[in-house]
Amino acid sequence: MSFNKQKKLGQVFLNNNNVLQEIIKAAEIKSNDKILEIGPGKGVLTQALVETEANVIAVEKDAEFVKFLKNKFKNQSNLKIINADIRDFIQSDDWQAEYAMLDTVYKAIGNIPYYLTSHLIKLLLESKKQPQNIILMIQKEVAQRIISQPPKMNLLSVSVQFYAKPEIICYVPRTAFYPEPKVDSAVIKITPMKTKENIDKIQIKNFFRIVKAGFKQPRKLLINNFSKNLNLEKEYLQKIFLQSNLPLNTRAQNLSIKEWVSLSSLLMKNIV
């Protein structure tokens, strides 16, 4: 069976058993855990997951892979294979309810196409039922951006760290995949913080509106970005910065998550 067309979709396949074991170890899988596997492809990671005796729900977009997987794992009772786009699955109450994802603790694991990374993480972290943890194989540089701290924060790192604690488990050379990609990868573990579960959706929307305004032109001073993109007076912003113990020459990349949350709570009172 030929899978050459997957290369144009950005999908590559892991062929390194040591990395597979790092993923399993990072997920802290126990028997009877519920696992949502994202994009199983040829089932290399799937095989390692079902061997843990966890209950695995593997969501695969490509019908050819689904057919291949159902034949390969036809006698595997702790595996369900679903032909769907993972983005649709995460956002669909019907699908999630059918497979009890909304009412149980589960873990999300996958070796995903690089172009899906930011959007997929966002969907998982903002879903009605967050995973207990998320273990993903992603591009090395993107993983490093996600775990960034001041003075190298960025919109992606703030977006992830607002909801969760990310950590890089290991780096994976491009030679560990076929077809071989042009970049190295990393296994990243993202653990959602339950403290964010009860935050008002309007507050979250306004928080990210403020953060996006701050990163609109990262090289500019944060005060200038806020003034221009949120239509706020600089004199007012200077008072807010002094109240927050932030230097007036602060740039977006210098703020920690705690400082972003504190600053945005003050600004929310005056943005329309």
Tell the burial category of 181 from Cβ atoms under 10 Å away from its Cβ (0-12, 13-18, 19+): middle
pLDDT digit string, tens, across residues 126-179: 988 899 999 999 999 999 999 999 999 999 999 999 999 999 999 999 999 988
CATH of the domain at 264: 1.10.8.100
- Domain extent at residue 152: 4-195
146, 173, 195: which is the final residue of a domain? 195
Residue 240 and residue 48: Cα distance in Å, rounded? Answer: 52
The residue ranges of DSSP E strands in the chain, in sequence order, are 13-14, 34-38, 55-60, 79-83, 106-111, 134-139, 164-172, 177-178, 185-192
Residues 51, 24: one domain? yes
Angle formed by the axes of helices 222-229 and 234-243, to 10°? 130
160, 195, 230: which is the final residue of a domain? 195
pLDDT digit string, tens, across residues 80-126: 999 999 999 999 988 888 888 878 899 999 988 888 999 999 999 99
Residues 32, 144: one domain? yes
Residues 166, 42: one domain? yes
150, 174, 195: which is the final residue of a domain? 195
DSSP secondary structure of 22-53: HHHHHHT--TT-EEEEE--TTSHHHHHHHTTT
Residue 211 and residue 226: Cα distance in Å, rounded? Answer: 9
Residues 86, 178: one domain? yes
Residues 46, 124: one domain? yes
